[in-house]
Amino acid sequence: MGTKAKTMPIISKTYCSSSQVVLVVRRRPHVISGGGFVVTNCSDHQKVIFRVDGCGILGTKEELLLRDGNGDALLLIRRKGRMVEALSIYKNWNGYTFDYEGSQKLVFCLKEPNSCLVKNNPMRISTEPRVSNKDWDFEIKGYFPDKNCSIIDTKGNVVAQIGASVQELMASKDLYNVVVKPGIDQAFVFGVIATLDYIFGESTRC
């Protein structure tokens, strides 16, 4: 018998599955809906799991909102301290959840190197509370614009794989798959993907 996957809720344990999950991202065009993307189940493209609103919808640059399938806000992502960052080698993106009173709580920080457009320059993510004894908990490996990258933990284990088949790439550049490993918080994964989408000037960017 296989060992049960450890659950790692960062946004909510609601989004941690006991088995591997394959989800499909479909980007929304700016001209029709203000940008962002929709996440559906690979076996049922009508069932929306998450949706991400970019600044074309929100009207605020460097701010994103991850919603659940019902449209309720799960995660607010915004770039932190632009003035301070002028002296830093990193740009920091923070993800916040909302409590029942609407207060914001920091749950992750993604550090974007100023030279992020160079391939194979890894981005690192720390979570609150921390899940490792390093100064980071997850890392992006690969190049997001190619839709060939992974989110890995500090032990080198892949927790989520972003990719697209040849058929999908030929059919539409706005469609790609994300494989999320058992026990991993899918809302956290798509919060990270939304941030990468914005950094690389894709569907969430104004």
Q: What is the pLDDT along the chain (206 residues), one digit of tens a residue?
A: 445 567 788 999 999 999 999 999 998 877 767 889 999 998 877 889 999 999 888 888 899 999 999 999 999 999 986 555 555 667 899 999 987 676 789 999 999 886 655 555 679 999 987 777 788 999 999 989 988 999 999 999 999 999 976 565 556 667 899 999 999 999 999 999 999 999 998 888 88
Could you tell me the CATH number of the domain that includes residue 62?
A: 2.40.160.200
Domain count, the chain: 1
Domain contains 146:
yes
Q: Which domain holds residue 94?
A: 13-199
Please give the model's pTM, rounded to 2 decimal places. 0.89
Q: Is residue 140 part of a domain?
A: yes
Residues forming a β-bridge with 158: 152
Strand positions, DSSP E, the chain? 21-27, 37-41, 44-53, 63-68, 73-80, 90-98, 104-113, 123-127, 138-143, 148-153, 158-163, 175-180
Within 13 A of 204's CA, how many CA atoms are on the CB side?
28
pLDDT at 133: 74
Nearest by Cα to 93 from 75, 76, 111: 111
Q: Is residue 187 part of a domain?
A: yes
N residues, the chain: 206
The residue to which tokens 């494989």 are assigned: 179
pLDDT at 2: 45
pLDDT at position 1, please?
40
Structure-token match 């009173």, residue found: 101
Q: Given phi > 0 = left and psi -120 to 50 = alpha, else beta, which region is 142?
A: left
Tell me if 35 is assigned to some domain.
yes
Residue 87 pLDDT: 58
